[in-house]
Amino acid sequence: MKRWQLLFLLACPCAALAQSFSYPVPPDSIGDRQGRIAYMVSHFWNEQSIGDTANFQSPRLLLDYLYLLKQETTNLQSNSIKSFVSLAYKNEQTFGRILYWLDQILYDSSSPHYNEDIYLRLMTEVVTSDADSVMKLIPMERVKMMSKNQIGKPTNDFCYVDKEDNQHKLYDVDAPLLLLVFNNPDCSLCCHAEKAMIGNTLIQNLQKKGLLSVLAVAPDADFKEWKKHKYPSSWLTGIDKGGVIYRNRLYDIQRLPCIYLLDKDKQVLLKEADYGRLSVYLEEHYATFCR
């Protein structure tokens, strides 16, 4: 179903659309938007639809469901997530596919629908459910990794060395805001992101005001080759020569570049971002940072 069709169902009583999958239509008696959303979420799946393999050949239906779920209040979301997982894990034919699509939609940091909060709550519910232990293996690993460096909590500290081979710690960097950029000089996407950040006027202004520092760290690179790369002179740079970040899985680095934004106490404001998500976040919060 097209997104505008979902909105139409939310706004217009009696709006029914012929589909192979029967989308829930709120009754006329529910006139307010939140009430219609809650109705559609709670009636979106049933034993028949969630057990039909044809419904999960693509992520379309899950995307529609998640679109509605994200609009619920936190309390209603928790109940909806519990009901959804309880229904899903009982269907062996589709549960694996559902987990796969949820991983691709919500957990993959390159997904436009990336949402670690909802994904963590979904996977936590899977782990605590009566689902088959084999089906819990990946969710358990995901929950373990997502529990690190959560938004609003202190990030993991680590050591790095600069080009003079002097050792430093992340927590030694004193800055109101710290842009932590995991990168590799051999990575073309990293180089593109680097150029974009150099030209970003919001980043430039925050640096000029003394509100932002940038630390670029290579978690897995050859030291001699890394030293040859010319980073912006205003950036702090380092390399994890011992490979501790990857080996101890201190950060869930899915791909490079991987960008974190930290506050003065090294609490996470933004995580696992590419340049696009960083740019949007800065535009939304720039005025707050400058106060």
Residue 223 pLDDT greater than 90, yes or no: yes
| Cis bond upstream, residue 13 (ω within 30) | no
Residue 59: predicted pLDDT: 96
Cα–Cα distance, 262 to 180 (Å, whole number): 7
- Please give the average per-residue pLDDT across 52-73, as a whole number: 96
144 has pLDDT over 60 = yes
Which of these, 26, 85, 37, lies nearest to 64 by C-alpha position? Answer: 37
Q: Is the pLDDT of residue 6 over 60?
A: no
| Paired residues of 43 in beta bridges | none
Nearest alpha-carbon partner for 170 in 267, 255, 258: 267
Kindly tell me if the per-residue pLDDT of 241 is higher than 50.
yes
**Is residue 238 predicted with pLDDT exceeding 50?**
yes
Please give the Cα distance from 291 to 288 (Å, whole number). Answer: 5
Which amino acid is it at 218?
A
Which amino acid belongs to residue 224? K
Assess contact for 42 and 80: CB atoms under 8 A. yes
pLDDT of residue 240: 97
**pLDDT surpasses 80 at 262:** yes
Q: Name residue 230's amino acid.
A: K
Task: Give residue 119's pLDDT band: very low, low, confident or very high (50, 70, 90).
Answer: very high
Q: Tell me how far apart the alpha carbons of residues 122 and 93 are, in angstroms, rounded to a whole number.
A: 19
Query: What are the angstrom distances between the C-alpha of 185 and each of 57, 161, 258?
Result: 38, 16, 13
Tokens coding 165: 């081979």
CA-CA distance, 81 to 88, in Å (whole number)? 10
Residues 229, 28: Cα–Cα separation, whole Å: 64
Helix residue spans in 241-274 (DSSP H): 244-247
Residue 17 is predicted with a pLDDT of 38
**Mean pLDDT, residues 21-41 taken together:** 93
Q: Which amino acid is at 278?
A: L
Per residue in 276-290, pLDDT tens? 999 999 999 999 999
Kindly report each contact of residues 224-228 with a partner whose C-beta sits within 8 Å and lies 24 or more positions away, as own/partner. Answer: 225/185, 225/186, 226/185, 227/163, 228/185
Is the Cα torsion angle 247, 249, 255, 261 positive or negative in sign?
Answer: negative
**Percentage of the chain exceeding pLDDT 70:** 93
When the pLDDT of each residue in the chain is averaged and rounded to a whole number, the result is 92
- Is the pLDDT at 12 greater than 50? The verdict is no
- Is the pLDDT confidence value at 21 over 90? no
* Residue of 11, 14, 4, 46 whose CA lies nearest to 31: 11
Across residues 197-220, what is the average pLDDT? 97
pLDDT value, residue 18: 35
> How would you class 244 by CB atoms within 10 Å of its CB: exposed for 0-12, middle for 13-18, buried for 19 or more?
middle
Calculate mean pLDDT across residues 212-219.
Answer: 98
CA atoms within 13 A on the CB side of 89: 20
Residue 16: what pLDDT? 38
Q: Using CA atoms, how far apart are residues 244 and 254, in angstroms rounded to an integer? A: 16
Average pLDDT of 72-94? 95
The answer on pLDDT for 20 being more than 90 is no
Model confidence, pTM: 0.87
CB contact at 8 A, 238 and 162:
yes
